[in-house]
Amino acid sequence: MSESHINATKNLDKLYEFERAPVTQDRLQPGRYFAGLFAGEHVAGTEFVIGATFVAWGVNAYDVFIGLLLGNIMAVLTWTLVCAPIAVGTRLTLYWYLRRIAGPATTVVYNILNAVLFCILAGCMITVSASAVRIPFGIPAQVHWYPEDIRFVFVVLGLGAFVVALAILGFKKLAQFSYICSPWLFVMFLGGALVVLPCLAMNMDGGGQIRSWQDFWTIANKMIWTGQAPAGKESVTFWQVAAFAWICNLAMNAGLSDMALLRYAKSSSYGLYTAFGMLFGHYLAWIFAGIMGAGSAIILKTVIQQLDAGDVAYNALGFSGIIAVILAGWTTSNPTMYRAGLAFQAITPGWPRWLVTLVAGIATTIIAAFPFVFTRLLDFVGWYGLLLMPVGAIVFTEHWIFPKIGLTRYWAAYKNLTLSWPALASWVIAIATAFVLERTGAIHLFYLFVPIWCLTSVLYIVLSMFSGASKKYPGQPEPFTNDEVAPAIASVAARPNKPAGKDMLCMVSRVAAILSLAVCLFLAIWVFVASPDVYEARFDLFKKILIIPSLIYFVSATIWVVREDVEI
Protein backbone atom coordinates (compact mmCIF):
# COMPACT_ATOMS: atom_id res chain seq x y z
CA MET A 1 0.00 0.00 0.00
CA SER A 2 1.44 3.37 -1.00
CA GLU A 3 2.21 6.11 1.52
CA SER A 4 -0.28 8.46 -0.14
CA HIS A 5 -3.00 5.80 0.14
CA ILE A 6 -2.18 5.26 3.82
CA ASN A 7 -2.31 9.03 4.49
CA ALA A 8 -5.65 9.35 2.66
CA THR A 9 -7.12 6.52 4.75
CA LYS A 10 -5.89 8.15 7.96
CA ASN A 11 -7.49 11.44 6.95
CA LEU A 12 -10.81 9.69 6.30
CA ASP A 13 -10.60 7.93 9.65
CA LYS A 14 -10.46 11.37 11.28
CA LEU A 15 -14.04 11.93 10.13
CA TYR A 16 -15.25 10.59 13.48
CA GLU A 17 -18.96 11.18 14.06
CA PHE A 18 -19.50 9.53 17.48
CA GLU A 19 -21.09 6.53 15.81
CA ARG A 20 -21.02 4.45 19.02
CA ALA A 21 -20.57 7.09 21.70
CA PRO A 22 -22.33 10.20 23.03
CA VAL A 23 -21.46 13.46 21.31
CA THR A 24 -19.19 15.54 23.54
CA GLN A 25 -19.95 19.13 24.56
CA ASP A 26 -17.20 20.59 22.39
CA ARG A 27 -18.87 19.16 19.27
CA LEU A 28 -22.34 20.66 19.77
CA GLN A 29 -23.41 22.87 16.87
CA PRO A 30 -25.07 26.32 16.77
CA GLY A 31 -28.78 26.69 16.06
CA ARG A 32 -28.32 28.29 12.66
CA TYR A 33 -26.80 25.06 11.35
CA PHE A 34 -29.94 23.17 12.34
CA ALA A 35 -32.11 25.84 10.73
CA GLY A 36 -30.11 25.52 7.52
CA LEU A 37 -29.94 21.73 7.64
CA PHE A 38 -33.67 21.19 8.17
CA ALA A 39 -34.62 23.91 5.69
CA GLY A 40 -32.25 22.50 3.09
CA GLU A 41 -33.42 18.93 3.61
CA HIS A 42 -37.13 19.75 3.47
CA VAL A 43 -37.07 22.48 0.83
CA ALA A 44 -36.28 19.66 -1.55
CA GLY A 45 -36.71 18.34 -5.06
CA THR A 46 -39.55 16.13 -3.88
CA GLU A 47 -41.51 19.28 -2.99
CA PHE A 48 -41.96 19.78 -6.73
CA VAL A 49 -43.44 16.28 -6.92
CA ILE A 50 -45.62 16.44 -3.79
CA GLY A 51 -46.80 20.02 -4.39
CA ALA A 52 -47.88 19.10 -7.90
CA THR A 53 -49.53 15.91 -6.63
CA PHE A 54 -51.96 17.88 -4.45
CA VAL A 55 -53.02 19.71 -7.60
CA ALA A 56 -53.40 16.42 -9.48
CA TRP A 57 -55.42 14.95 -6.60
CA GLY A 58 -57.97 17.74 -6.94
CA VAL A 59 -57.59 19.01 -3.36
CA ASN A 60 -59.36 22.32 -2.77
CA ALA A 61 -57.48 25.47 -1.78
CA TYR A 62 -58.80 25.66 1.81
CA ASP A 63 -57.71 22.09 2.57
CA VAL A 64 -54.25 22.77 1.17
CA PHE A 65 -53.65 26.02 3.06
CA ILE A 66 -55.18 25.06 6.41
CA GLY A 67 -54.76 21.29 6.36
CA LEU A 68 -51.07 21.48 5.51
CA LEU A 69 -50.52 24.14 8.18
CA LEU A 70 -52.09 21.96 10.88
CA GLY A 71 -50.21 18.84 9.83
CA ASN A 72 -46.84 20.54 9.65
CA ILE A 73 -47.27 22.13 13.07
CA MET A 74 -47.97 18.66 14.47
CA ALA A 75 -44.80 17.38 12.79
CA VAL A 76 -42.69 20.15 14.38
CA LEU A 77 -44.16 19.35 17.80
CA THR A 78 -43.37 15.65 17.33
CA TRP A 79 -39.72 16.47 16.65
CA THR A 80 -39.58 18.87 19.59
CA LEU A 81 -41.44 16.84 22.20
CA VAL A 82 -40.60 13.26 21.20
CA CYS A 83 -37.34 13.07 19.25
CA ALA A 84 -35.21 15.99 20.47
CA PRO A 85 -35.43 15.27 24.24
CA ILE A 86 -34.20 11.69 23.78
CA ALA A 87 -31.48 12.78 21.34
CA VAL A 88 -30.18 15.48 23.71
CA GLY A 89 -30.56 13.26 26.79
CA THR A 90 -28.47 10.41 25.35
CA ARG A 91 -26.33 12.18 22.70
CA LEU A 92 -26.49 8.87 20.79
CA THR A 93 -27.83 7.84 17.42
CA LEU A 94 -30.98 5.74 17.51
CA TYR A 95 -28.98 3.02 15.79
CA TRP A 96 -26.70 2.64 18.81
CA TYR A 97 -29.14 3.54 21.60
CA LEU A 98 -31.55 0.86 20.38
CA ARG A 99 -28.84 -1.71 21.13
CA ARG A 100 -29.17 -0.86 24.87
CA ILE A 101 -32.92 -1.38 24.74
CA ALA A 102 -33.61 -4.19 22.29
CA GLY A 103 -30.33 -6.09 22.09
CA PRO A 104 -27.81 -6.50 19.25
CA ALA A 105 -29.89 -8.91 17.13
CA THR A 106 -32.99 -6.70 17.06
CA THR A 107 -30.77 -3.73 16.29
CA VAL A 108 -29.20 -5.52 13.33
CA VAL A 109 -32.63 -6.24 11.84
CA TYR A 110 -33.76 -2.66 12.35
CA ASN A 111 -30.57 -1.05 11.07
CA ILE A 112 -30.54 -3.13 7.89
CA LEU A 113 -34.16 -2.25 7.13
CA ASN A 114 -33.63 1.38 8.11
CA ALA A 115 -30.49 1.78 6.00
CA VAL A 116 -32.06 0.11 2.96
CA LEU A 117 -35.13 2.36 3.13
CA PHE A 118 -32.94 5.44 3.57
CA CYS A 119 -30.84 4.38 0.58
CA ILE A 120 -34.01 4.08 -1.51
CA LEU A 121 -35.20 7.51 -0.33
CA ALA A 122 -31.81 9.10 -1.01
CA GLY A 123 -31.83 7.43 -4.41
CA CYS A 124 -35.18 9.05 -5.13
CA MET A 125 -33.68 12.46 -4.37
CA ILE A 126 -30.80 11.81 -6.75
CA THR A 127 -33.37 10.83 -9.38
CA VAL A 128 -35.16 14.13 -8.79
CA SER A 129 -31.90 16.03 -9.32
CA ALA A 130 -31.23 14.03 -12.47
CA SER A 131 -34.67 15.01 -13.80
CA ALA A 132 -33.33 18.55 -14.05
CA VAL A 133 -29.85 17.76 -15.35
CA ARG A 134 -31.37 15.74 -18.19
CA ILE A 135 -32.97 18.85 -19.76
CA PRO A 136 -29.83 20.53 -21.19
CA PHE A 137 -28.75 17.17 -22.65
CA GLY A 138 -32.10 16.57 -24.33
CA ILE A 139 -32.76 13.41 -22.31
CA PRO A 140 -36.49 12.58 -22.18
CA ALA A 141 -38.35 12.45 -18.86
CA GLN A 142 -37.97 9.10 -17.10
CA VAL A 143 -41.53 8.18 -16.18
CA HIS A 144 -41.13 4.40 -15.87
CA TRP A 145 -39.51 2.33 -13.12
CA TYR A 146 -36.50 1.61 -15.33
CA PRO A 147 -34.13 4.02 -17.17
CA GLU A 148 -34.98 4.57 -20.84
CA ASP A 149 -31.81 6.43 -21.83
CA ILE A 150 -28.23 5.42 -21.02
CA ARG A 151 -27.31 9.11 -20.71
CA PHE A 152 -29.67 9.38 -17.75
CA VAL A 153 -27.69 6.63 -16.01
CA PHE A 154 -24.44 8.56 -16.49
CA VAL A 155 -26.07 11.70 -15.08
CA VAL A 156 -27.19 9.74 -12.01
CA LEU A 157 -23.70 8.35 -11.49
CA GLY A 158 -22.19 11.84 -11.49
CA LEU A 159 -24.75 13.26 -9.09
CA GLY A 160 -24.49 10.23 -6.82
CA ALA A 161 -20.72 10.66 -6.51
CA PHE A 162 -21.18 14.19 -5.16
CA VAL A 163 -23.88 13.19 -2.69
CA VAL A 164 -21.84 10.33 -1.28
CA ALA A 165 -18.70 12.49 -0.97
CA LEU A 166 -20.57 15.12 1.06
CA ALA A 167 -22.24 12.51 3.28
CA ILE A 168 -18.82 11.05 4.07
CA LEU A 169 -17.57 14.45 5.27
CA GLY A 170 -20.06 14.37 8.17
CA PHE A 171 -22.64 16.46 9.98
CA LYS A 172 -20.95 19.84 9.88
CA LYS A 173 -20.30 19.87 6.15
CA LEU A 174 -23.87 18.75 5.52
CA ALA A 175 -25.15 21.57 7.70
CA GLN A 176 -22.94 24.18 6.00
CA PHE A 177 -24.03 23.03 2.55
CA SER A 178 -27.71 23.26 3.49
CA TYR A 179 -27.13 26.57 5.28
CA ILE A 180 -25.88 28.05 1.99
CA CYS A 181 -28.48 26.48 -0.28
CA SER A 182 -31.72 26.78 1.71
CA PRO A 183 -32.31 30.59 1.51
CA TRP A 184 -31.79 30.60 -2.25
CA LEU A 185 -33.98 27.53 -2.74
CA PHE A 186 -36.84 29.15 -0.85
CA VAL A 187 -36.54 32.31 -2.94
CA MET A 188 -36.67 30.14 -6.09
CA PHE A 189 -39.87 28.42 -4.94
CA LEU A 190 -41.44 31.77 -4.10
CA GLY A 191 -40.18 33.45 -7.27
CA GLY A 192 -41.34 30.59 -9.49
CA ALA A 193 -44.86 30.80 -8.04
CA LEU A 194 -44.99 34.58 -8.49
CA VAL A 195 -43.97 34.55 -12.15
CA VAL A 196 -46.51 31.92 -13.25
CA LEU A 197 -49.49 33.34 -11.36
CA PRO A 198 -50.21 35.99 -14.04
CA CYS A 199 -50.26 33.20 -16.64
CA LEU A 200 -52.89 31.36 -14.61
CA ALA A 201 -54.89 34.56 -14.23
CA MET A 202 -54.86 35.29 -17.97
CA ASN A 203 -55.97 31.74 -18.80
CA MET A 204 -58.89 31.77 -16.38
CA ASP A 205 -62.34 32.25 -17.84
CA GLY A 206 -62.72 35.98 -18.37
CA GLY A 207 -59.00 36.60 -17.92
CA GLY A 208 -57.73 39.11 -15.42
CA GLN A 209 -54.88 40.19 -13.19
CA ILE A 210 -54.01 39.62 -9.54
CA ARG A 211 -54.36 42.76 -7.51
CA SER A 212 -55.71 41.46 -4.20
CA TRP A 213 -55.88 38.39 -2.00
CA GLN A 214 -59.40 37.77 -3.28
CA ASP A 215 -58.10 37.66 -6.86
CA PHE A 216 -55.49 35.11 -5.84
CA TRP A 217 -58.01 33.03 -3.91
CA THR A 218 -60.31 32.92 -6.93
CA ILE A 219 -57.48 31.73 -9.16
CA ALA A 220 -56.36 29.20 -6.53
CA ASN A 221 -59.81 27.59 -6.44
CA LYS A 222 -60.53 27.71 -10.17
CA MET A 223 -57.13 27.05 -11.73
CA ILE A 224 -54.91 25.27 -9.17
CA TRP A 225 -56.61 23.43 -6.29
CA THR A 226 -59.99 22.92 -7.90
CA GLY A 227 -61.47 20.33 -5.55
CA GLN A 228 -62.20 18.10 -8.55
CA ALA A 229 -60.69 14.63 -8.22
CA PRO A 230 -59.46 12.79 -11.34
CA ALA A 231 -62.00 10.51 -12.99
CA GLY A 232 -62.54 7.32 -11.02
CA LYS A 233 -60.87 8.57 -7.84
CA GLU A 234 -62.26 9.96 -4.59
CA SER A 235 -61.50 13.50 -3.46
CA VAL A 236 -58.82 13.89 -0.81
CA THR A 237 -60.23 15.31 2.42
CA PHE A 238 -58.98 18.02 4.77
CA TRP A 239 -57.95 15.47 7.40
CA GLN A 240 -56.09 13.36 4.86
CA VAL A 241 -54.10 16.41 3.79
CA ALA A 242 -53.29 17.26 7.42
CA ALA A 243 -52.40 13.66 8.25
CA PHE A 244 -50.10 13.34 5.24
CA ALA A 245 -48.20 16.48 6.26
CA TRP A 246 -47.77 15.01 9.75
CA ILE A 247 -46.60 11.54 8.68
CA CYS A 248 -44.45 12.65 5.75
CA ASN A 249 -41.36 12.42 7.95
CA LEU A 250 -42.69 9.88 10.42
CA ALA A 251 -39.50 7.82 10.47
CA MET A 252 -37.42 10.88 11.32
CA ASN A 253 -39.52 12.40 14.13
CA ALA A 254 -41.78 9.79 15.77
CA GLY A 255 -39.48 7.03 14.52
CA LEU A 256 -36.52 8.88 16.15
CA SER A 257 -34.12 8.55 13.20
CA ASP A 258 -33.31 12.25 13.54
CA MET A 259 -31.58 11.50 16.82
CA ALA A 260 -28.61 11.22 14.44
CA LEU A 261 -28.86 14.98 13.81
CA LEU A 262 -30.37 16.34 17.02
CA ARG A 263 -27.74 14.67 19.25
CA TYR A 264 -25.57 17.64 18.22
CA ALA A 265 -28.15 20.14 19.56
CA LYS A 266 -27.39 22.23 22.64
CA SER A 267 -30.90 21.72 24.03
CA SER A 268 -34.09 19.86 23.15
CA SER A 269 -35.69 23.16 22.12
CA TYR A 270 -33.61 22.87 18.95
CA GLY A 271 -36.37 20.57 17.74
CA LEU A 272 -38.24 23.78 16.93
CA TYR A 273 -35.68 24.45 14.19
CA THR A 274 -37.50 21.78 12.18
CA ALA A 275 -40.10 24.51 11.58
CA PHE A 276 -37.69 25.98 9.02
CA GLY A 277 -38.13 22.75 7.07
CA MET A 278 -41.80 22.11 7.74
CA LEU A 279 -43.22 25.61 7.33
CA PHE A 280 -40.91 26.84 4.58
CA GLY A 281 -40.54 23.46 2.87
CA HIS A 282 -43.49 21.20 3.51
CA TYR A 283 -45.94 24.07 3.70
CA LEU A 284 -44.98 27.03 1.56
CA ALA A 285 -42.80 25.09 -0.90
CA TRP A 286 -45.61 22.57 -1.51
CA ILE A 287 -47.98 25.46 -2.18
CA PHE A 288 -45.51 27.27 -4.44
CA ALA A 289 -44.73 24.03 -6.30
CA GLY A 290 -48.43 23.45 -6.87
CA ILE A 291 -48.72 26.90 -8.41
CA MET A 292 -45.65 26.30 -10.60
CA GLY A 293 -46.98 22.91 -11.66
CA ALA A 294 -50.39 24.26 -12.66
CA GLY A 295 -48.77 27.15 -14.55
CA SER A 296 -46.22 24.93 -16.31
CA ALA A 297 -48.99 22.60 -17.46
CA ILE A 298 -50.72 25.57 -19.12
CA ILE A 299 -47.50 26.88 -20.67
CA LEU A 300 -46.64 23.44 -22.09
CA LYS A 301 -50.27 22.72 -23.02
CA THR A 302 -50.30 19.40 -21.17
CA VAL A 303 -51.61 17.91 -17.93
CA ILE A 304 -49.68 18.15 -14.69
CA GLN A 305 -49.43 14.35 -14.39
CA GLN A 306 -47.09 14.33 -17.41
CA LEU A 307 -44.53 16.71 -15.86
CA ASP A 308 -41.54 15.86 -13.70
CA ALA A 309 -39.71 18.17 -11.28
CA GLY A 310 -37.27 19.30 -13.98
CA ASP A 311 -40.08 20.30 -16.36
CA VAL A 312 -41.87 22.32 -13.69
CA ALA A 313 -38.78 24.19 -12.47
CA TYR A 314 -37.28 24.85 -15.91
CA ASN A 315 -40.48 26.33 -17.33
CA ALA A 316 -40.88 28.64 -14.34
CA LEU A 317 -37.27 29.61 -13.64
CA GLY A 318 -35.19 28.79 -16.70
CA PHE A 319 -31.68 27.46 -16.12
CA SER A 320 -31.88 28.57 -12.47
CA GLY A 321 -34.75 26.11 -12.09
CA ILE A 322 -32.47 23.29 -13.17
CA ILE A 323 -29.95 24.31 -10.50
CA ALA A 324 -32.77 24.58 -7.96
CA VAL A 325 -33.93 21.00 -8.54
CA ILE A 326 -30.35 19.70 -8.45
CA LEU A 327 -29.58 21.43 -5.16
CA ALA A 328 -32.98 20.60 -3.68
CA GLY A 329 -32.33 16.93 -4.38
CA TRP A 330 -28.80 17.11 -2.98
CA THR A 331 -29.76 18.86 0.26
CA THR A 332 -32.23 16.06 0.98
CA SER A 333 -30.22 13.08 -0.22
CA ASN A 334 -27.07 14.19 1.66
CA PRO A 335 -28.44 13.91 5.24
CA THR A 336 -30.47 10.85 4.24
CA MET A 337 -27.31 9.12 3.03
CA TYR A 338 -25.57 10.27 6.23
CA ARG A 339 -28.26 8.50 8.30
CA ALA A 340 -27.99 5.38 6.15
CA GLY A 341 -24.23 5.30 6.72
CA LEU A 342 -24.69 5.58 10.48
CA ALA A 343 -27.28 2.78 10.45
CA PHE A 344 -25.01 0.42 8.49
CA GLN A 345 -21.99 1.43 10.58
CA ALA A 346 -23.74 0.36 13.78
CA ILE A 347 -23.78 -3.25 12.50
CA THR A 348 -20.29 -3.26 10.96
CA PRO A 349 -18.12 -2.57 14.03
CA GLY A 350 -14.87 -3.19 12.19
CA TRP A 351 -15.59 -0.64 9.46
CA PRO A 352 -15.12 3.14 9.76
CA ARG A 353 -18.19 5.25 8.96
CA TRP A 354 -16.70 6.69 5.78
CA LEU A 355 -16.26 3.22 4.28
CA VAL A 356 -19.77 2.10 5.19
CA THR A 357 -21.21 5.33 3.78
CA LEU A 358 -19.26 4.79 0.57
CA VAL A 359 -20.66 1.28 0.13
CA ALA A 360 -24.20 2.46 0.95
CA GLY A 361 -23.74 5.35 -1.48
CA ILE A 362 -22.80 3.05 -4.33
CA ALA A 363 -25.96 1.02 -3.71
CA THR A 364 -28.02 4.23 -3.50
CA THR A 365 -26.67 5.53 -6.81
CA ILE A 366 -27.56 2.26 -8.52
CA ILE A 367 -31.09 2.52 -7.09
CA ALA A 368 -31.36 6.11 -8.35
CA ALA A 369 -30.84 4.93 -11.93
CA PHE A 370 -34.11 2.98 -11.62
CA PRO A 371 -36.68 5.65 -10.72
CA PHE A 372 -39.33 3.28 -9.38
CA VAL A 373 -39.66 5.17 -6.07
CA PHE A 374 -39.97 8.48 -7.91
CA THR A 375 -43.07 7.17 -9.69
CA ARG A 376 -44.69 5.93 -6.43
CA LEU A 377 -43.25 8.45 -3.98
CA LEU A 378 -46.28 9.09 -1.79
CA ASP A 379 -47.00 5.39 -1.24
CA PHE A 380 -43.36 4.82 -0.34
CA VAL A 381 -43.31 7.75 2.10
CA GLY A 382 -46.36 6.39 3.92
CA TRP A 383 -45.12 2.82 4.25
CA TYR A 384 -41.50 3.59 5.01
CA GLY A 385 -42.63 5.73 7.95
CA LEU A 386 -44.96 3.04 9.26
CA LEU A 387 -42.32 0.32 8.97
CA LEU A 388 -39.84 2.26 11.10
CA MET A 389 -42.12 4.19 13.46
CA PRO A 390 -42.92 1.29 15.87
CA VAL A 391 -39.24 1.10 16.86
CA GLY A 392 -39.42 4.78 17.81
CA ALA A 393 -42.47 3.97 19.94
CA ILE A 394 -40.53 1.19 21.70
CA VAL A 395 -37.56 3.44 22.45
CA PHE A 396 -39.81 6.30 23.61
CA THR A 397 -41.75 3.92 25.88
CA GLU A 398 -38.66 2.50 27.56
CA HIS A 399 -36.90 5.85 27.83
CA TRP A 400 -39.79 7.89 29.28
CA ILE A 401 -42.66 5.64 30.35
CA PHE A 402 -40.82 2.75 32.02
CA PRO A 403 -39.35 4.88 34.86
CA LYS A 404 -42.77 6.44 35.50
CA ILE A 405 -44.58 3.10 35.90
CA GLY A 406 -41.90 1.35 37.94
CA LEU A 407 -40.32 -0.74 35.19
CA THR A 408 -36.55 -1.04 34.79
CA ARG A 409 -35.03 0.81 31.90
CA TYR A 410 -32.41 -1.16 29.91
CA TRP A 411 -33.57 -4.43 31.46
CA ALA A 412 -32.57 -6.35 28.32
CA ALA A 413 -28.99 -5.07 28.67
CA TYR A 414 -28.90 -6.08 32.35
CA LYS A 415 -29.90 -9.60 31.31
CA ASN A 416 -27.32 -9.59 28.48
CA LEU A 417 -29.99 -10.48 25.94
CA THR A 418 -28.88 -10.73 22.34
CA LEU A 419 -32.50 -10.50 21.21
CA SER A 420 -35.32 -8.73 23.05
CA TRP A 421 -38.32 -10.73 21.90
CA PRO A 422 -40.83 -8.23 23.43
CA ALA A 423 -39.35 -5.49 21.22
CA LEU A 424 -39.26 -7.63 18.09
CA ALA A 425 -42.74 -9.08 18.70
CA SER A 426 -44.27 -5.65 19.36
CA TRP A 427 -42.72 -4.32 16.15
CA VAL A 428 -43.84 -7.25 13.97
CA ILE A 429 -47.38 -7.31 15.40
CA ALA A 430 -47.71 -3.54 14.90
CA ILE A 431 -46.63 -3.70 11.25
CA ALA A 432 -48.88 -6.70 10.55
CA THR A 433 -51.83 -4.87 12.13
CA ALA A 434 -51.12 -1.77 10.06
CA PHE A 435 -50.98 -3.81 6.87
CA VAL A 436 -54.29 -5.56 7.59
CA LEU A 437 -56.05 -2.32 8.55
CA GLU A 438 -54.83 -0.56 5.40
CA ARG A 439 -55.48 -3.45 2.99
CA THR A 440 -59.03 -4.02 4.31
CA GLY A 441 -59.81 -0.31 4.10
CA ALA A 442 -60.59 -0.10 7.81
CA ILE A 443 -58.23 2.84 8.33
CA HIS A 444 -56.63 5.04 5.66
CA LEU A 445 -52.85 4.75 5.35
CA PHE A 446 -52.40 8.37 6.47
CA TYR A 447 -54.36 7.76 9.70
CA LEU A 448 -52.56 4.63 10.92
CA PHE A 449 -49.78 6.41 12.79
CA VAL A 450 -51.56 7.18 16.09
CA PRO A 451 -53.29 3.80 16.67
CA ILE A 452 -50.17 1.83 15.63
CA TRP A 453 -47.95 3.94 17.91
CA CYS A 454 -50.27 3.33 20.86
CA LEU A 455 -50.60 -0.38 20.06
CA THR A 456 -46.81 -0.78 19.91
CA SER A 457 -46.31 0.99 23.22
CA VAL A 458 -48.96 -1.07 25.06
CA LEU A 459 -47.68 -4.35 23.59
CA TYR A 460 -44.11 -3.54 24.58
CA ILE A 461 -45.05 -2.62 28.15
CA VAL A 462 -47.08 -5.80 28.68
CA LEU A 463 -44.58 -8.17 27.06
CA SER A 464 -41.63 -6.57 28.86
CA MET A 465 -43.33 -6.93 32.25
CA PHE A 466 -43.36 -10.71 31.76
CA SER A 467 -39.78 -10.80 30.47
CA GLY A 468 -37.81 -9.03 33.17
CA ALA A 469 -38.61 -5.32 33.06
CA SER A 470 -40.62 -5.54 36.30
CA LYS A 471 -37.56 -6.79 38.21
CA LYS A 472 -34.92 -4.69 39.91
CA TYR A 473 -31.24 -5.19 39.26
CA PRO A 474 -29.44 -3.85 42.39
CA GLY A 475 -25.74 -3.18 42.35
CA GLN A 476 -25.56 -2.76 38.60
CA PRO A 477 -25.04 0.65 37.04
CA GLU A 478 -27.10 1.62 34.03
CA PRO A 479 -25.51 0.04 30.97
CA PHE A 480 -25.28 3.45 29.33
CA THR A 481 -22.50 5.25 31.20
CA ASN A 482 -19.78 7.69 30.31
CA ASP A 483 -17.15 5.24 31.62
CA GLU A 484 -18.17 2.73 29.00
CA VAL A 485 -17.57 5.07 26.11
CA ALA A 486 -14.66 7.02 27.58
CA PRO A 487 -12.03 5.33 25.36
CA ALA A 488 -13.96 6.27 22.22
CA ILE A 489 -14.37 9.87 23.34
CA ALA A 490 -10.75 10.15 24.43
CA SER A 491 -9.60 9.04 21.00
CA VAL A 492 -10.99 12.20 19.48
CA ALA A 493 -8.78 15.23 19.85
CA ALA A 494 -10.52 18.36 21.10
CA ARG A 495 -10.87 21.07 18.53
CA PRO A 496 -8.57 24.02 19.04
CA ASN A 497 -10.17 27.29 19.99
CA LYS A 498 -10.61 29.47 16.95
CA PRO A 499 -9.77 33.13 17.09
CA ALA A 500 -12.66 35.52 17.29
CA GLY A 501 -12.74 38.89 15.63
CA LYS A 502 -14.26 40.92 12.82
CA ASP A 503 -13.55 39.88 9.26
CA MET A 504 -14.15 42.47 6.53
CA LEU A 505 -14.35 39.84 3.77
CA CYS A 506 -16.97 37.97 5.78
CA MET A 507 -19.06 41.13 6.24
CA VAL A 508 -18.82 42.16 2.58
CA SER A 509 -19.72 38.69 1.31
CA ARG A 510 -22.69 38.51 3.69
CA VAL A 511 -24.05 41.82 2.35
CA ALA A 512 -23.48 40.67 -1.22
CA ALA A 513 -25.33 37.39 -0.56
CA ILE A 514 -28.33 39.17 0.97
CA LEU A 515 -28.48 41.74 -1.83
CA SER A 516 -28.28 39.07 -4.54
CA LEU A 517 -31.22 37.23 -2.96
CA ALA A 518 -33.13 40.50 -2.88
CA VAL A 519 -32.43 41.00 -6.59
CA CYS A 520 -33.74 37.49 -7.36
CA LEU A 521 -36.95 38.25 -5.50
CA PHE A 522 -37.26 41.71 -7.08
CA LEU A 523 -37.04 40.20 -10.57
CA ALA A 524 -39.87 37.80 -9.75
CA ILE A 525 -42.05 40.63 -8.40
CA TRP A 526 -41.22 42.66 -11.54
CA VAL A 527 -42.74 39.88 -13.66
CA PHE A 528 -45.67 39.38 -11.30
CA VAL A 529 -46.83 43.02 -11.55
CA ALA A 530 -46.44 43.18 -15.34
CA SER A 531 -49.47 44.09 -17.42
CA PRO A 532 -50.72 41.41 -19.85
CA ASP A 533 -49.16 43.11 -22.89
CA VAL A 534 -45.60 42.97 -21.47
CA TYR A 535 -45.86 39.90 -19.24
CA GLU A 536 -44.50 37.40 -21.76
CA ALA A 537 -41.47 39.55 -22.63
CA ARG A 538 -40.64 40.11 -18.94
CA PHE A 539 -41.12 36.43 -18.15
CA ASP A 540 -38.69 35.37 -20.90
CA LEU A 541 -36.10 37.93 -19.77
CA PHE A 542 -36.51 36.85 -16.15
CA LYS A 543 -35.67 33.24 -16.99
CA LYS A 544 -32.54 34.34 -18.86
CA ILE A 545 -31.03 36.74 -16.32
CA LEU A 546 -32.04 35.09 -13.02
CA ILE A 547 -28.91 32.98 -13.18
CA ILE A 548 -26.68 36.06 -12.73
CA PRO A 549 -27.73 37.10 -9.19
CA SER A 550 -28.03 33.40 -8.34
CA LEU A 551 -24.37 32.74 -9.14
CA ILE A 552 -23.35 35.88 -7.24
CA TYR A 553 -25.28 34.57 -4.26
CA PHE A 554 -23.53 31.20 -4.20
CA VAL A 555 -20.06 32.69 -4.49
CA SER A 556 -20.63 35.30 -1.80
CA ALA A 557 -22.61 32.98 0.51
CA THR A 558 -19.90 30.33 0.36
CA ILE A 559 -17.22 32.87 1.27
CA TRP A 560 -19.45 34.20 4.06
CA VAL A 561 -20.14 30.79 5.64
CA VAL A 562 -16.54 29.58 5.34
CA ARG A 563 -15.07 32.81 6.76
CA GLU A 564 -17.68 33.05 9.51
CA ASP A 565 -16.93 29.53 10.62
CA VAL A 566 -13.40 30.67 11.49
CA GLU A 567 -14.96 32.71 14.29
CA ILE A 568 -17.16 29.92 15.72
pLDDT at 524: 94
For residue 92, the surrounding DSSP H or E stretch is none
pLDDT at 81: 94
pLDDT at 486: 36
274-to-75, 202, 315 alpha-carbon distances in Å: 9, 37, 30
pLDDT at 375: 59
pTM equals: 0.78
Facing residues of 226 across strands?
60
> Rounded to an integer, what distance in angstroms lies between the CA atom of residue 468 and that of residue 477?
16
Cβ-contact 222, 555 below 8 angstroms: no
Cβ-contact 210, 310 below 8 angstroms: no
Cβ-contact 49, 128 below 8 angstroms: yes
> Rounded to an integer, what distance in angstroms lies between the CA atom of residue 264 and that of residue 30?
9
442-to-198, 433, 456, 541, 565 alpha-carbon distances in Å: 43, 11, 18, 53, 53
The DSSP annotation for 24-53 comes to: PGGG---HHHHHHHHHHHHSSHHHHHHHHH
> Rounded to an integer, what distance in angstroms lies between the CA atom of residue 60 and that of residue 136?
35
List the Cα angle 80/384/427 in 5-degree steps: 80
Facing residues of 60 across strands?
226
564-to-41, 161, 175, 495, 503 alpha-carbon distances in Å: 22, 28, 14, 16, 8
pLDDT at 349: 63
pLDDT at 493: 37
Q: For residue 226, report the phi and psi dihedrals to the nearest 5 degrees.
A: -85, -15
190-to-193, 215, 241, 330, 509 alpha-carbon distances in Å: 5, 18, 21, 19, 23
pLDDT tens digits, 479-536 = 554 434 333 333 333 444 444 445 788 888 889 999 999 999 999 999 999 888 899 9
Cβ-contact 127, 156 below 8 angstroms: yes
pLDDT tens digits, 352-380 = 767 777 887 888 888 888 766 555 666 67
**Max Cα-Cα span within the chain:** 83
Residues of the chain with pLDDT under 70: 1-20, 40, 44-46, 141-145, 166, 169-175, 206-207, 230-232, 305-306, 332, 334-335, 338-339, 342-343, 345-350, 353, 371-379, 475-502, 565-568
What is residue 212's three-state secondary structure?
coil
pLDDT at 528: 93
pLDDT at 372: 63
pLDDT at 20: 63
> Rounded to an integer, what distance in angstroms lies between the CA atom of residue 184 and that of residue 321?
11
